[in-house]
Amino acid sequence: MREWEEKRTEQLSEYVLVSHVVCILILVMIIASFYNFKLGHSNIINIVTSSGLLLLLVLCIAIYVIRRLILKVTFLNQTKIDELLLLLIVLPLTFGFLWYSRDFFSAKVLILIPVIIASTAFGKYVGLATAALSSALLFVFDYEIAKSMPDTVFQTNLIIGSVAILSAWLVGGLMEVEKNTQRELVKLADYDQLTGLHNHRFLQEKLAGTLEQAFRQNITVSLVLLDIEQFRYYNAVCGYQKGDELLTAIGGLLQQELREPFYAARYGGDEFMLVFPGLSKVEARTAGNNVEHLIQIRVVATFMQEKKCPKPFVMSMGVVSYPADGIEALQLIRAAENDLFRNKYSRGKPYLYQSVLSEIGTLRIKDAFPTLQSLIAFINTKDKYTFGHSERVMSYALTLADQVGLSDEQKDTLRYGAYLHDIGKIEIETAVLIKENSLGEDEWKTMKNHTVWGSEMIMPLAAFKEIVPIIRSHHENFDGTGYPDGLKGEQIPLVARILRIADSFDAMTSDRPYRKALTLAEACLELEKYAGTLYDPELVSVFLGVVKEVYKNLPETADRASNA
């Protein structure tokens, strides 16, 4: 039980306990008023020493016997047992006193006591039943005592019975509202509202309990993590409402197919965790495959047919087991994530970028760009010398674009093109990217193809069509000696010419496997040297002006380098 749930239950139990204590006190007070007990030491001793002691002994024996019998009712918790025991004692005691007191009409109000106890302990319907029973017994007792039913007695009984029923309905109803509210709060805290499955937070809590039980019983527990690949694609093509309907249908199927002790949870936006206590990893993988097959034939087939979605529905799966892959809940979950990742991307790097590109193919550029960053991160892990290269190139290029007066639309195109200009290097082996010696002829040919591969990757994305020429032409030379198309002068797009300068400047001022970085002055000299051949001379002049403005001492440094 969570802290907030335990606190709320304790507060409710406190009010119930106080109400029960007050009821008992009222019962004692009415009995005392019937006997006209007077406070005093001698009176109390006389009561106890006469019949009170014997009655107390009998009552204790009766309570002990009844409680032992109630304990055999396994569906009741400790609190409910105590409340049931109290009701079984108070109800006979109340009507026993009513029968004994006979014409003591003030005692009739005592029927409210078992009604309130029943309503607070067991809810509205038990309270109403107790009220109806108490009211009926009240009429029966009065008829048996008086052998008739005078109008005044009938009216009194009717009023008291109505008050008892109203009290049961009100008190029991409020208790049920509170308990239902608590159940709903627990449901909101523990269950995913879309799929009806356990949520991510409760999964860890429930899994911890499952592992404890598995430890005591010495059994295995296997986890299957299912992931819907490229789910954003389906949301974009079919709409988010249909995507939610798909997740809801999968959640309903998992609830239907997984019976105790198995259970499932929604682990992430498009991921589901299946828990199989008692199954080995091999058995769990088979069970996971069966579930995936059912999802395909029952849910996805109908979904795809309705929307006529051309893309096949694919799910990846990670499988781990306790204790082989971990002994704690979080440890097992992380192992399942790792196994899913290995299985998902073990199909090779083409699958990696095709998966990402197809996922964002229908998104707007600003929505899709963050996903493409994962590809750039992948390149950076392959080539440590290019880490941060795309970010710096983008910064240099945008600075130059501001100076030549590009429009906001052109600068947006340049921004994304500069960031993604090396995306084609995903196709190049890491050994070639980080080679310290000069590249061989075949290796150089492969390296030059990255501009073509990168543009072909981006070309299918409608939102990115404007940056395709930048990626393809950012290694074209102003004199026509560049690659891949040998474009010359203004045949090269302006944004590609800007990127050519920014890319070269960052490459020259960064360490490479085959050489150390040049100083800023040396890099500026290189740009000046090849202006008109490799680079647009007008753009070089503007760029150098910006660099010299930022680094005030650069002209002097450049002059010294030139004299040297």
Q: Give tens-digit pLDDT for 33-69.
A: 666 654 444 454 444 444 444 454 455 556 555 555 5
pLDDT at 469: 92
pLDDT tens, position by position, 123-142: 888 888 988 988 888 888 77
Q: Which of 80-89, 408-417, 484-493 has the highest mean pLDDT?
A: 484-493
Q: According to CATH, where is 3.30.70.270 located in the chain?
A: 200-346
Residue 555 scores a pLDDT above 50: no
Within the chain, which residue ranges are assigned CATH 1.10.3210.10? Answer: 351-563
Res 353: pLDDT: 44
Residue 120 has pLDDT above 60, yes or no: yes
Could you tell me the fold of the domain covering 200-346?
Alpha-Beta Plaits (3.30.70)
The pLDDT value recorded for residue 496 is 93
pLDDT the model gives residue 31: 67
Write down the residue that tokens 């105790």 correspond to.
260
If pLDDT is split at 50, 70 and 90, which confidence band does 358 have?
very low
pLDDT reported for residue 388:
65
In this prediction, residues 453-468 reach a mean pLDDT of 80
H or E stretch covering 225: strand 221-228
If you average pLDDT over residues 309-318, what whole number do you get?
Answer: 70
Predicted pLDDT at 230: 66
Specify the fold of 351-563.
Answer: Hypothetical protein af1432 (1.10.3210)
Q: Residue 494: which residues within 8 A CB-CB, separation 6 or more?
A: 404, 406, 410
Q: Give the separation between CA 121 and CA 86, rounded to whole angstroms.
A: 10
Q: Which two tokens stand for residue 29?
A: 């007070």
d(CA 467, CA 250): 39
pLDDT, mean over the chain: 75
Q: What is the pLDDT of residues 219-258, one digit of tens each?
A: 999 999 988 876 766 666 667 777 788 888 888 888 888 8
Query: Which pLDDT score is estimated for 331?
Result: 84
* 492 contacts: CB under 8 Å, gap ≥ 6: 473, 476, 478, 500, 536
pLDDT, residue 360, reads 44
According to the model, what pLDDT value does residue 350 have? 45
Residue 301: predicted pLDDT? 62
Q: How many CB atoms lie within 10 A of CB 408?
A: 7
Q: What are 264-289's pLDDT values in tens digits?
A: 988 888 889 999 999 998 999 999 88
Residues above pLDDT 70, as percent of the chain: 68
Q: How far apart are CA 538 and CA 532, in angstroms?
A: 9
**Of 332, 120, 318, 83, the residue nearest 220 (C-alpha):** 332
Confidence of residue 362 (pLDDT cuts 50, 70, 90): very low
Length of the chain: 564
Residue partners of 309: CB distance under 8 A and separation at least 6: 234, 237, 238, 303
DSSP class of 297: I
pLDDT score at 146: 61
Q: What is the DSSP string of 157-211?
A: HHHHHHHHHHHHHHHHHHHHHHHHHHHHHHHHHHB-TTT-SB-HHHHHHHHHHHH
Pairwise CA distance, residues 249 & 268, whole Å: 16
Q: What is the mean pLDDT of residues 499-512?
A: 85
Question: Which of the residue ranges 80-84, 140-144, 503-507 has the most confident prediction, judged by mean pLDDT?
Answer: 503-507
pLDDT band at 437 (very low <50, low <70, confident <90, very high): confident
